[in-house]
Amino acid sequence: MTWLITGGAGYIGAHVVRAMTGAGERVVVLDDLSSGIRRRLPAGVPLVDGSYLDGPLLRRILAGHGVSGVVHLAARKRVPESLERPTEYYRDNVGGLATLLEAVADAGVDRFLFSSSAAVYGAPDAELITEDTPCAPLNPYGETKLAGEWLVRAAGSAHGIATACLRYFNVAGAAAPELADTGVFNVVPMVFDRLTRDEAPRIFGDRHPTPDGTCVRDYIHVADLAEAHLAAARRLSAGGAGGDLTVNIGRGEGVSVRELVTLIGEVTGDRRPALVEGPRAGDPPRAVASAALAARELGWTARHGLGEMVESAWRGWLLQHPR
C-alpha cells in the first residue's frame, strides 16, 4: 500500500516519512513548502508541491499514486497566530480537512491518521491527562484540532474509514541534524535563538501552582513521535483500530520550564540566568500525558529522554546557525 503524508517535508513530517520508509512503507508527500524543506526527504520519495485545500489536486494524487492510507500532518500550528487570525485557522485546519476527507472518501481510501494536539485539553486540573480528560481548548488552534477529531471520526463512521487521532504533547529534538526544527516557535529553539543573539532566555511566569512556579510540560522526542505514527499506521492497516482510536503521545513525565532552561544551559555551555516575564494568557500550569493507552493499543512507548532531545536539537541548531 501507499501512504499519502501531508506536510511530509516539515519538521515532524520529515521524521514520519523517514520512519515509515525505513520500515518499508511506500509514501508520497504533499507539501506546499511554506515551512517544509525539500531536502529533508529521502531520495526517491515523490513530492507534490501543493496544498491539501486543493480538492482536484488531491484526487489526482490519490488516484495517480494508488494511495490507500493518509497521514494528515499539514496544518496551521501557531497558538498566538490563531488568536490573531481565527478565521484562517478554521478555514485551513477544519475546512481544508473537510476537503481532504471528501477526496479520501470519493477515492475509496480506507485508512486515515490525524495529527491532533494536547491543546484540545486546555488547562485541566489533572496530574496526568488521560484520553478521557474533558476537552476544553483555550485558543482557536486547539479548537480546530478538536473539531478536526470530530470530523475525522464522523467521516470514518460514514464512509467506512479506519481512523486514528494522535494527540501530541511538546515535541523536541531531531533524529539527525539536517532534520532539526528550523522554526523559532517551540520552547527549545526559542531558547537557542535567544542565546545565539546574546540574550537571556525568557520564562513566562514563575508563580504558577507548580513546584518551582514555572509551567510543567511533557516533552517527546520527535523520533519517538515518528515511531508512534508508524505504529498507528500499521494498526490501521491491520484493521483493528476502528473509527475511534484516540491516543496521547507523550512520555508521562513532567519537566518545568526552569528545569528545561537549566538543562539547555548545561548542553550549550551558556548558563546565564533566565529573564522572568509575565505569564502568557491561556498557558496551563501543568500538562503531562498519561501514555498508558498508547502502550496498550499501539505497543508504543517513548525511548528518548530530555537530555537526548536537547542535545540533538542543539546539533541541528548549530548546523543551521554556524558560529
- Looking from the CA of 243 toward its CB, the CA atoms found within 13 Å total 13
The b/e string for 109-120 (b: 16+ C-beta within 10 A; e otherwise) is: bbbbbbbbbbbb
Task: Pull the grid cell for residue 18.
Answer: 523517514
Q: Where are the beta strands (DSSP E) in 89-234?
A: 111-117, 162-168, 170-172, 202-204, 216-217, 219-221
Task: Pull the grid cell for residue 301.
Answer: 512507548
Cβ contacts of 159 within 8 Å, gap of 6 or more: 104, 105
Among 5, 11, 7, 9, which Cα is nearest to 28's? Answer: 5
Task: Pull the grid cell for residue 319.
Answer: 548546523
**Are the beta carbons of 316 and 177 closer than 8 angstroms?**
yes
Task: Pull the grid cell for residue 6.
Answer: 501531508
Strand pairing category for 219-221 and 245-249: unpaired
Strand order in the sheet with 255-256: 255-256, 216-217, 286-287
Cβ contacts of 262 within 8 Å, gap of 6 or more: 271
Residue keyed to cell 480538492: 55
* Residue 141 designated active-site: yes
In the set 11, 141, 168, 219, the catalytic residue is: 141
Among 254, 38, 265, 34, which Cα is nearest to 129's? Answer: 254
The rounded radius of gyration (Å) of the Cα atoms in the chain is 19
Do you know the residue count of the chain? 323
Which residues are the active-site residues?
141
